[in-house]
Each structure stands twice: as C-alpha cells, then as structure tokens.
Amino acid sequence: MIWSREITTFDWWEVELTFRVTGRGRIGADGLGFWFTSAKGLEGPVYGSSDQWIGLGVFFDSFDNDNKHNNPYIMAMTNDGTKNFDHQNDGSTQQLAGCLRDFRNKPFPVKAKIEYYQNTLTVLFHNGMSNNDKDYEMCVRSENVVLPKNGFFGVSAATGGLADDHDVLKFVTHSLRSPEMALVPDGLDAEETQKFNKEFDAYQEKLKEQKATWAKDHPDEAKKNEDYDSMDGFFEDDSTRELKQIFQGQSAMNEVIRDLHRKMDEIIGRQERSLSQLTAIQNSGGAVAAGGAKPSGGGGAPVDTIRRDEVNAVLANQREMVSAARDIKNFVTDIHGKVGTIQQTQNRQPTATVQQVGGQGLPADLQNSIQEMKDGINTVKRDLSNTAARIEKTKCPDVSSSGCVSSTLFIVLMGVQLVVLIAYMMYRDGKEAQAKKFY
C-alpha cells in the first residue's frame, strides 16, 4: 500500500485512479482498495490495509467469497472506526452502493473517478476496453455521505492463492470548490506559491539530470526502459500490440457511432418540433377557413374546402351505392330470367295450367316463381330505401363532385327499373287474365 504524506486541507475533492489488475487465472484475488481516512492505514486484512478505519474505502473486489457469482465487484463503504469488513459476504451488507464490473486483464488501464463534493460521493468507472476518456460510466452515487473533514489518501492491494498483479499507474487528486468559493483566495500567498513552483522545477531538473547520467552508465537497460515508458509501463509482445490496435479501432468506431446517434437524436427532435408547428398552423388555418365559409352560403364559389376525411367518406358512400346498384341489377336480371322461364312454361303447357288453375289455385312451380319474385321485389324495395337513406345522409358538398352526379344517375336508373317492374307486373296480370279466359 501507499499513502499520502500530508493530511488534506480542502473539504471536497476528486481523485482519478488509473490502474491495472492482471493475472493468468480466469479468477483472481483479492483486490484493490482506495482510501480516504482520518489516519493512514497499517498493513491489515482489508485489501492490504487495516480494518476499523475512519472514512471511506472504495474496493475493487476480485474474488467472490460469498459465491454469488457477483465478482469482480466495485463498492464504496464508509466506516466510523467500529465496523469490521465482512469478507464472507464481500461486504454486500455494509456497502453504500456498488456495481458489478470486470476490471481484470483489460487491454487498456482501467480508471476510476472518485468524487466527494458537498457530501455526495460518486464513483465513475472506465472499463479499460478503450482509451477514450468519454467511456466513463456511473457506478456509485450516494448522497449525505459524511467523511472526515481532513484525511489521507491511500491505495492498497492484496493477493492470495490466485495471484494477481495490482499496478497503480496514476493517482491524480484535485481539490473541488463551489463556484462562489472559487473567487475567495485560498490562503496561499503569491510568494509561497512561487517558492513551491521553483522547488518543483528544480526537482524536475535534477531528476532529468539523474536519468541522463544513469542512461549513460547503463545504455542497454536505458533502451529497455524507454520502451517501458512508452507503453504505459507495460511490456507487450506483437500480439498484444495488435489486440490493442484492434481495440483502438473499435473504440474509434464506437465514438463515431455515438456521434451519429447524437446527431440522429437532434434531427428527430427537430423534425418533431417542426411537425407540431405544422399541425398548429394547420389547425389555426382550418379554423379560419371554416369561420369564413359560413356566411358565404349558397352564393358564389364556396370558400370551404373539403377535408381529406370528408372526401374519403363521400367516396366510401359512393362505393357502397354502386355495389347496392349492382345488387339490384342482379336481382332484376334474375327476375327477368325467371319471367322468361314462366312464360316458357305457360306456352308449353297451357291446358295443364288451366286445369290446375281451376283447382285450388296456380300451378306449384308458378306459385314458387311468384313467391321468389315477391321476395326479389321486397329485397329491391329494401335496398332502394336503404340507398335513399344513404343518399340523404351523404351531404353533398357545394363543390359539384363526380359522386353527386353519379348518384343522380343512379336514381334515374332506379326509376327506369321500377317502370320495368311495374310493366312486368301488368304483363303478368294480363297473362293471368288470359289464363282465366282459357278457363
């Protein structure tokens, strides 16, 4: 484990932790802990550090002690110095919050952003599948968290039978202030700041010099070390590099897709907005037109326009009328055919008919035919009245559309058919009279 030397002097903070957990096994152990505690920890049982701490621990728990198949797991836990970490349950009953995320053996280093601001603790996690800084996702968000006002930062790790390497590559701390507090000077006077800066620069210079001297003395190792530095501190063979390149490519694609997605959302939003505006304009326009149409009434060209649904209704009615007319036509043809049959029958057996008419009444097949005719006529009547009702219902718009013309035509046709029917009935009566004459 490693701990900050000085106690913090700020209230709120953010830590960006970049690390790797690697191991040959499918499962590893035990895990890594991030700490913010009122005192530095000692070597102990909680991911390498001591139990009963006061403050915050964020744990990256690799090993599934409770066998619930929920590891590797990331969790945050606060302690007031009285609690012992419950390894048997992987701390599940003690955690503030957590998330199930795999952080072992990733192509890129994994990262955690741990923020404590105005008593809200958030842990964002980057799963190391890309080197894109936008790929952070929320893991923990917990409000009303009270941590020691000042404390020490630390990182610790522990391993067991299933050995893992835990490498912390970066640990960047920022103090956070609310926007209004940012204007207040933070107590460091300019002279002191300058002194610190100078000290830091001198240290950097010295380090550089030392590195150069060392490289001169050990040229072979220096070369190796350069490679080491250029690879995030990790040696890699060709296949690893290839894999890394693939992941980088995928990450780039992912970013493009995300960008497209965002643009698509924007376009859809804009489209919906314009659609709703269009509807609003249409509604207000329709209201004005309807208002203006009423006074104009019969005179002149009608102002009112037929709406689409009205046109559809008119067309549907027209279609129904046409089919009704077709039905009627069929009936009439039927009747006509039957009349022909009756005539033939009468012509063929005039005497037989006469004899039977003289009995109880008309011959059976004639009676049937007449009955059928009656039915036919009734159906025609019914259809006619239906059609008449429909025609009445269909309010023709002022605009003389083809539908109205055809319905007039239809009525004329109906009249012609009625005349034909009446003529036929008269003809039938005449035939009956003739038959009676025979008798």
- What are the two backbone dihedrals, phi and then psi, of residue 78, each rounded to the nearest 5 degrees? -105, 155
Which residue, 3, 1, 102, 80, is CA-closest to 44? 1
Which residue, 3, 248, 16, is CA-closest to 125? 16
Give the relative orientation of helices 402-438 and 350-358 as an angle to the nearest 10 degrees: 80
Beta carbon nearer to Ca ion, 4 or 65 = 65
* The two three-digit tokens of residue 123, written as one number: 């842990």
From the CB of 31, what's the least distance to Ca ion, in Å?
6
Beta carbon nearer to Ca ion, 112 or 158 = 158
Beta carbon nearer to Ca ion, 64 or 102 = 64
* The two three-digit tokens of residue 337, written as one number: 């055919």
Q: Which residues bind Ca ion (CB under 5 A)?
A: 61, 63-66, 68, 70-71, 90
Quick one: which H or E segment has residue 337?
helix 308-348
For Cα atoms 9, 200, 216, give the angle at the middle one, nearest 5 degrees. 140
From the CB of 84, what's the least distance to Ca ion, in Å?
14
From the CB of 47, what's the least distance to Ca ion, in Å?
9
Cβ atoms 49, 35 nearer than 8 A: yes
Distance CA 9, CA 373 (A): 109
Residue whose C-beta lies closest to Ca ion: 90
From the CB of 65, what's the least distance to Ca ion, in Å?
4
From the CB of 71, what's the least distance to Ca ion, in Å?
5
Beta carbon nearer to Ca ion, 35 or 116 = 35
Which residue, 326, 284, 316, is CA-closest to 403? 316
Beta carbon nearer to Ca ion, 73 or 410 = 73
Beta carbon nearer to Ca ion, 64 or 304 = 64
From the CB of 83, what's the least distance to Ca ion, in Å?
16
Give the relative orientation of helices 402-438 and 308-348 as an angle to the nearest 10 degrees: 20
